[in-house]
Homo-oligomer: A and B are copies of this chain.
């Protein structure tokens, strides 16, 4: 898993201890923080306490079924957007459809392969991050590609398009030296022809706006970004 600020928290609810154990083990190995519940009511309780990013619900559980838990959680604003995966031995289409329509994001039938479950969890998180929009953060600098905003110490810095693209490229791999050629290709495109000094001028503008020492010149090679 890509290393972020906080590990994602996953709640898994199932009444079979074996499943709980093997799934927790695999998800933890993947870097997630795992919380377990043994029945429907406990699942709701633990969700409220721990506010997990993803919930895996066995459908057949004592107390409340996974579907019921899902329905209840979805009425609460805090869990309106939480990812929910159903887990079940019931392998028939109509149940699966019901699960997905109840508000589930995925429906996996037992016997489960822990690796597959993990992959599906990863895929769902990948999707969420894409929707949320990823902000690149380096030191006190934030670069939001989707909103086209750069902030330094929470102060917004206005960059023109080429400036933004250039900065986004350099910051995409901090400390990496980008060759002038590489920069030309990725920011200007392969077909555009501009003079050599053009890059310098843009670098200069970024330095003016962000402070001079964030971009280092590597003479004869290119530029790199460093905080």
In the bound complex, residues from chain B placing their C-beta under 8 Å from that of A220 are 160-161
In the bound complex, residues from chain B placing their C-beta under 8 Å from that of A103 are 126
Task: Return the contact of A148 from the options B106, B124, B177 (Cβ within 8 A).
Answer: B177
In the bound complex, residues from chain B placing their C-beta under 8 Å from that of A219 are 160-161
In the bound complex, residues from chain B placing their C-beta under 8 Å from that of A147 are 175-177, 224
**Is A224's CB under 8 angstroms from B127's CB?**
no
A100 and B220 alpha carbons, distance in the complex (Å) = 41
**Is B93's CB under 8 angstroms from A146's CB?**
no
In the bound complex, residues from chain B placing their C-beta under 8 Å from that of A148 are 177, 218, 221, 224
Which residue of A127, A133, A221 has the most chain B CB atoms within 10 A of its CB atom? A127
Name A164's closest neighbour in chain B (CB-CB): B221
**Is A123's CB under 8 angstroms from B100's CB?**
yes
A-B contact pairs, 30 of them (CB 8 A): A80-B130, A81-B131, A93-B116, A96-B116, A96-B119, A97-B116, A97-B119, A100-B116, A100-B120, A100-B123, A101-B123, A105-B127, A106-B106, A106-B123, A127-B127, A127-B128, A128-B131, A130-B131, A133-B176, A146-B177, A147-B175, A147-B176, A148-B177, A148-B218, A148-B224, A149-B175, A160-B219, A160-B220, A161-B218, A161-B220
